[in-house]
Structure 1
Amino acid sequence: MVAIARIPDDLPQTRRRKNRPPPLRRAPGQFGEVLGQEPRPVAGRLRAVRRLVSALLWTLLCIPVQALLLALPGRGKAAFPRFYHSVLCRLIGLRVQVVGEISAARPTLFLSNHSSWLDILVLGGVLEAAFVSKAEVGDWPVVRTVARLGRTVFVSRSRGRTGEEATAMRGRLQQGDSLILFPEGTSNDGARVLPFRSAFLGVADAAAAVQPISVVYDRLGGLPACRRDRPHFAWYGDMDLGSHFWRLARQPGGRVTVLLHQPADPRAFRDRKALTQAVERAVAEGAADLRQNRTPVPLHPR
Structure 2
Amino acid sequence: MEPRPLGGRVRAIRRISFALIWTMLAIPIQALMLLLPGHAKVAFARIYNRVLCRLIGIRVQVVGEQARGGSVLFLSNHTSWLDILVLGGTLEACFVAKAEVGQWPLVRTIARMGRTVFVSRKRGTTGRESDEIRARLAGGDSLILFPEGTSNDGTRTLPFRSAFLGAAAGARLVQPVSIVYDRLGGLPACRRDRPLFAWYGDMDIGSHFWRIARRSGARATVLLHEAVDPALYADRKDLTQRVEAVVAAGASQLRQNRVPVPLSL
Counterparts of 1:96 and 1:169, CA distance in 2: 28
Secondary structure of the 2:80 match is coil
Question: How does 1:152-301 map onto structure 2 within 5 Å?
Answer: 152-301=116-265
Match of 1:45 in 2: 9
Q: SS of the residue aligned with 2:183?
A: strand
Which position in structure 2 is the counterpart of 1:130?
Answer: 94
1:109 equivalent to 2:63? Answer: no
Name structure 2 gaps, 5 residues minimum: none
For residues 167-217 of structure 1, give each alpha carbon's deviation from its aligned partner in whole angstroms, at most 9, with x where no partner exists.
111110110100000000000001000000001111111111000000000
Kindly report the root-mean-square deviation, in angstroms, between the aligned alpha carbons of the 2 structures: 0.7
Q: Does 1:80 align with 2:80?
A: no
CA-CA distance at 1:105 after TM superposition: 3.7
Give unpaired runs (5+ residues) of structure 1. 1-34
- 3-state SS of paired residue (1:96): strand
SS of 2:67's equivalent?
Answer: coil
Give the distance between the partners of 1:108 and 1:281, measured in 2 at CA.
19
What is the number of residues matched between the two proteins? 265
Kept in 2, the 8 Å contact 1:105–1:209? The answer is no
What letter is aligned with 1:45? R
- SS of equivalent residue, structure 1 residue 80: helix
Q: State the structure with bigger RCO (CA 8 A, min sep 6), 1 or 2.
A: 2
Q: Is 2:101 the counterpart of 1:150?
A: no
Flag the structure with larger Rg. Answer: 1
Native 8 Å contact 2:96 2:144 kept in 1 = yes
**3-state secondary structure, aligned to 1:122:** helix
Secondary structure of residue in 1 paired with 2:25: helix
2:25 to 61, 65, 73: 61
After TM superposition, give the deviation of residue 78 of structure 1 in Å.
Answer: 1.0
What TM-score do you get using the length of structure 1 for normalisation? 0.87
After the TM superposition, list the runs of 4 or more consecutive aligned residues in structure 1 that deviate by more than 6 angstroms: none
2:228 partner amino acid: A
Q: Which residue of 1 aligns with 2:34?
A: 70
Separation of aligned partners in 1, 2:233 and 2:135:
22
User: What are the Cα deviations for residues 66-120 of structure 1, in whole angstroms up to 9, with x where unaligned?
Assistant: 0001011111111100000000000000000000000024210000000000000
Specify the alignment match of 2:104 in structure 1.
140
